[in-house]
Chain A
Amino acid sequence: MKAACPEMARSLNHDNQAHLSAEQLVELAERGRRRQRYEEYIDHIVECPLCRETYRQLLEAESAARAARTPEWVPALWVWLPAAAAAMLILFFGARALLSGGVETAGLRQHDGVWYEGATRLPEWAFAAAAQFERPPAPTRDAPSETPRAVRLIRPNPANAAIESRIPDFQWEPVPDAARYRVRLERAEGSRALNLKVDGERATLPEGERLEAGVSYRLTIEALAADELAGDGLKTVYEFRTLSSEESSSSAGRVRIVSRLLVSAL
């Protein structure tokens, strides 16, 4: 290399080099500030395009070499540790589900076709419910289309065909333009209709009245505008049944046990 920067060359080394030597540049790239005369070399690099370019390329090469020297297991550990833990959990629970046949969990077990919770034999309906879960009824596929305008019952949930309470509290969405409501309840097979007590968008049975157990009822809610007479308003009919005494006495317990049966069966 010729003396392109003679002043610097004199101060850089004693061989009157115009540029930093290859060894000096390499050492500078490798050791950085730890290299003796670092500031002096950098001052030269700032002013000398050739050394600057060489130094830049050396820094890139050094950076690549450092990355290559980094032990591979460090990033691999971060990546693989959670994956290995997840795989072990899947294996553990999968093996447990397979070995138990999917039924002997949550304290429930089956012996000679009979279900037990601990040492307690579960009742007949529990077996039936568990068995029915494996055989859902065939879909009917004749669902009616959505009704365009109606008084929408909120409570009890109209999606349910049965209600638990014998003193229900009916509640519906407000109907625009409705000035008042008229609510009637009668047995589904026909009987004298009972007028319910209406308060805003809510209705209750008259004082002292209660529904009979195991009976189907028809509820008619009529929304009346200010100028409409009873019978001329927007009427919507809901049908539901009350639980029988037997059903309502055991339904809470049924729900608890069957829910556990169903979850354990899966």
Chain B
Amino acid sequence: MIFYQLGFYADALETLNALPDEPIVQQWHTVVQEQIQQRQPRL
């Protein structure tokens, strides 16, 4: 997951969405979604 390694989480998610709905893809989905949620901006 080069997108994940580089920090392109939105692109990683887009790639995962194009892959078959399999357990390992779902695991990656969870991990990437959490990274994106953690990137909420600070006020």
- A residues contacting B by CB (< 8 A) are 125, 129, 132-134, 136-144, 146-147, 149-151, 153, 157-162, 234-238, 240-241, 243, 247, 251, 254-255, 258-259, 262-263, 266
Contacts and interface: CB of A to CB of B under 8 A. Distances in A.
Contact of B1 (A132, A162, A238, A243): A132
Contact of B39 (A134, A161, A262): A161
Interface residues of B, number: 32
A25 B41 CA distance: 88
Q: Which 3 pairs show the lowest CB-CB distances between chains A and B?
A: A161-B7, A143-B37, A162-B7
A236 B1 contact: no
Q: SS class of chain B's interface: helix, strand, loop or mixed?
A: helix
B43 A158 contact: no
B9 A159 contact: yes
B8 A237 contact: no
B13 A159 contact: yes
B41 A238 contact: yes
Given A143-B38, A161-B35, A125 B2 contact: yes
Contacts of B3: 255
B5 A160 contact: no
Interface string B3-43: 11111111101010001101011011011001111111111
Contacts of B2: 125, 129, 251, 254-255, 258
B43 A237 contact: yes
B41 A153 contact: yes
B10 A160 contact: yes
B41 A133 contact: no
A160 B7 contact: yes
A240 B22 CA distance: 31
17 contacts: A133-B24, A134-B24, A136-B30, A137-B31, A138-B31, A144-B38, A144-B40, A150-B41, A151-B41, A159-B10, A236-B41, A236-B42, A237-B42, A247-B6, A254-B2, A263-B19, A266-B19
Given A262-B1, A266-B25, 6 more contacts: A140-B38, A141-B34, A161-B7, A161-B8, A236-B42, A254-B2
Nearest to B42: A237
Nearest to A146: B40
Contact of A139 (B9, B10, B30, B42): B30
A236 B43 contact: yes
A266 B21 CA distance: 11
B38 to A, nearest CB: 6
A243 B5 CA distance: 11
